Structure 1
Amino acid sequence: MAFVSITRLRIRSLRFMPQFVVQTLRTGQQTKRASGFLGGSLLADRRRTFWTMTVWRDQSAMRAYMTSGAHLRAMPKLLNWCDEASVVHWTQDNLIVPDWAEADRRMRKEGRPSKVRNPSPSHRDLAYNPPRTTGAVPIKPITGA
């Protein structure tokens, strides 16, 4: 059994992009070294929109990652940086990283918006355009770290 976590973030202004990139690099390193991280992918979509997909041993491993280190420090900043943010989680029987079409389908059907201070008109209803599903970058765990 594996726990899948998908996030979708849209950065509301170019002025936040440099800080977002720095935080993404930091949280990316934390993710690769996190206990229980099995694999994932990062997708740079259109219009300053970014998706993350991570697969974990279980929900507790994901929560331990989420509530520590660089990720914990970055989360409050997203309240101001993003005008759209959403998340969806599910469990699955295999350890395979799902494809982006499945991530989009699940986000629309089962996802929920995250809190942002300056929501777009589409934020609450997850009424975003279909993502560009090519060009994703795999995230692989660093073993022995």
Structure 2
Amino acid sequence: MTFVSITRLRIRSWRFMPGFAVQAIGSQRQCRQASGFLNGSLLPDRKLTFWTMTLWRDQAAMRAYIVGGAHGKAMSKLQHWCDEASIVHWTQDADALPDWDEADRRMRTEGRPSKVRHPSAVHASLGFAAPRTGGAAPIRPA
């Protein structure tokens, strides 16, 4: 069984993009080196929206990653930088990444909004537009 984690973030203004980019690079570096990380993908979407998909050995490995290092530091800033943020997790038998259509479907049916200080009108309902699924970049273990 593998643990799947999907996140979706929308940055609310271009002025937050430089800081977000620095934090994203550090978080990705940390992820690639994290114990229990198996595979991943980053999907830049329209309107300053970014999806991540990561596969983990188990939930404990994912949780150790999210609270520490660069990712832990970035999480406190995202409440201010984002007007939409959501997350969904599940376990699956396959060790392959699901496709982005499945990630979107699960986000809408099983996901939950994360806390943001300046929510958009569709934040709580997860009523965002379907993602543009081309252009994803792999995240591979180091």
CA distance in 1, matches of 2:4, 2:61: 11
Q: Give the TM-score, by structure 2 length.
A: 0.99
In the alignment, the residues of structure 1 paired with residue 33 and residue 109 of structure 2 have an alpha-carbon distance, to the nearest angstrom, of 31
Q: List gaps (5 residues or longer) in structure 2.
A: none
Q: 1:55 Cα shift?
A: 0.2
The corresponding residue for 2:29 is: 29
What CA distance in whole angstroms lies between the structure 1 residues aligned with 2:88 and 2:130?
A: 16
Paired residue for 2:64? 64
Whole-angstrom CA distance in 1 between matches of 2:136 and 2:58: 24
Q: Write the letter of the residue equivalent to 2:87.
A: V
Deviation at 1:94, TM superposition (A): 1.3
Aligned to 1:127: 127
CA distance in 2, matches of 1:113, 1:64: 21
Encode CA deviations 1:112-134: one digit per residue, 9 max, x unaligned: 00000000000000000000000
State the match for 2:16 in structure 1. 16
Following TM superposition, the consecutive aligned residue runs of length 4 or more in structure 1 with deviations greater than 2 angstroms are: none
Q: What TM-score do the two structures reach when normalised by structure 1?
A: 0.97
Partner of 1:109: 109
Q: Report sequence identity in percent.
A: 67
Q: For residue 68 of structure 2, what is the amino acid of its counterpart?
A: S
**What whole-Å deviation, never above 9, does each CA across 1:43-88 have from its counterpart, x for those lacking one?**
0000000000000000000000011100000000000000000000
- Letter of the structure 2 residue corresponding to residue 140 of structure 1: R
Measure, in 1, the Cα distance between the counterparts of 2:20 and 2:54.
Answer: 19
Say which SS state the counterpart of residue 30 (structure 1) adopts.
helix
Task: Report the RMSD for the aligned CA atoms in angstroms.
Answer: 0.3
Matched to 2:46, the amino acid is R
* Counterpart residue type for residue 59 of structure 2: Q
Matches within 5 A, 1:91-110: 91-110=91-110
